[in-house]
A = this chain, B = another copy of it.
Amino acid sequence: MNLPKKVVLCEVGPRDGLQNEPKILSVEEKVKLIDSITDSGFKVIEVGSFMHPKAVPQMASTDEVFKKIKTKDGVEYRALIANMKGLERAMDCGCRKVKLNVSASKSHNLANLNRTPEQSVAGFKETVQAAASCNIEISGSISMPFGSPWEHEIPVDDVKKIVQAYIDAGVTEISLSDASGMAVPSQVYNICTEMQKEFPMVKWILHFHNTRGLGVANIIAGMQAGITWFDTSFAGVGGCPFVPGAAGNVSTEDVLHMLDEMNIETGIDLDNTILISKMLVKILGHSTDSYILRAGKSKDLILDLPTGQKK
């Protein structure tokens, strides 16, 4: 099985997870969680987003959180933005990396904005240039490239047009985000193989939701296709924007546990990560879709022969 020796897990829980929670965490709670994530060895953390506070109240304090977190050299603290206004907030609070997003659904985009997804991306150009001029790194995300809740199948050529639009706008780090949980492993493998071949200059990130239980299998398929950057979310928090009550982002500790067991290096401490997810579950006050929080690590399941109890 052709797998990489080393992968990077990007912890997106503080943004994509917490924005789906009814409970709004305090700045102190967020800072404590994010500082612990830094301490666990993550190299990429999605701290929050700069959306309108009325649209996403869970993320209203992102500016303040950025000012208070302890940053570590070599660690990327990124935020999702929608436009120039978001970039301005990023500049003001010391955020050094922002991420833009577009949906791969042409019909959805046309119906809502009267433009294709690639025309939307072209419209990001001013924001990208402004970010470059003040030395803020930029990333682009494409939602639903593996299937869309509007047209079901998205032709891979349509996704390529969006990728090309990002490249034309100056963005060469691109995340493929299966927010509707429609991706399947063979498809992930094929699309990732094709994308890397056609756009070798792009740094790819994969972002899977576990809506239909395929998050981990899709990560494996991505790794087999040569991708080494993956978004995951602590305790598996998050959700599917189109399916109320569905499972969230693929759980960080579940993925990390598997990678550890397969001897794939991440530089992240699994035990600390589990403690952070437990801390989060306590703050949220409800259980989440995390297998490792339920079952524990395989290595912890060593039974004593005479007693049958855990050693």
A224 contacts the other chain (CB 8 A): yes
Q: Which residues of B contact A217 (CB under 8 A)?
A: 216-217, 220, 258
Within the oligomer, what is the number of copies of this chain?
2
Closest to A209 in B: B295
Which residues of A (208-225) have their CB < 8 Å from a CB of B? 210-214, 216-217, 220-221, 224
A185 partner, pick from B152, B181, B187, B262, beta carbons under 8 A: B262
Known: A149-B301, A261-B184, A291-B210. A1 touches B242 (CB 8 A): no
Alpha-carbon distance A292/B292, docked complex (angstroms): 21
A296 contacts the other chain (CB 8 A): yes
Contacting pair B1 A185 (CB below 8 A): yes
Binary per-residue interface labels of chain A (223-259) against chain B in the complex, 1 for a CB within 8 Å, 0 otherwise: 0100000000000000010110111000100100110
Q: Which residues of B contact A243 (CB under 8 A)?
A: 294-296, 301
Q: Which residues of B contact A184 (CB under 8 A)?
A: 258, 261-262
Q: Which residues of B contact A240 (CB under 8 A)?
A: 295
A107 contacts the other chain (CB 8 A): yes
Alpha-carbon distance A301/B303, docked complex (angstroms): 44
CB distance from A254 to the nearest CB of B (A): 5
Alpha-carbon distance A257/B247, docked complex (angstroms): 16
A190 contacts the other chain (CB 8 A): yes
Contacting pair A245 B294 (CB below 8 A): yes
Which residues of A (130-174) have their CB < 8 Å from a CB of B? 147, 149-152
Contacting pair B1 A212 (CB below 8 A): no
Alpha-carbon distance A214/B258, docked complex (angstroms): 8
Q: Which of A108, A296, A301 has the most CB of B within 10 A?
A: A301
A26 contacts the other chain (CB 8 A): no
Contacting pair B303 A242 (CB below 8 A): yes
Known: A108-B305, A149-B303, A243-B296. A291 touches B185 (CB 8 A): no
A182 contacts the other chain (CB 8 A): yes
Contacting pair B181 A212 (CB below 8 A): no
Q: Which residues of B contact A190 (CB under 8 A)?
A: 1
A213 partner, pick from B181, B251, B306, beta carbons under 8 A: B251
- A interface vs B, CB < 8 Å? 1, 3, 107-108, 111, 147, 149-152, 180-182, 184-187, 189-190, 210-214, 216-217, 220-221, 224, 240, 242-243, 245-247, 251, 254, 257-258, 261-262, 291-292, 294-296, 298-299, 301-303, 305-306
Sample 8 A-B pairs with CB under 8 A, ordered by A number. Answer: A111-B306, A210-B291, A212-B291, A214-B216, A216-B217, A220-B220, A242-B303, A243-B294
Closest 8 CB pairs of A and B: A213-B291, A1-B189, A217-B217, A182-B298, A246-B295, A184-B261, A149-B303, A111-B305
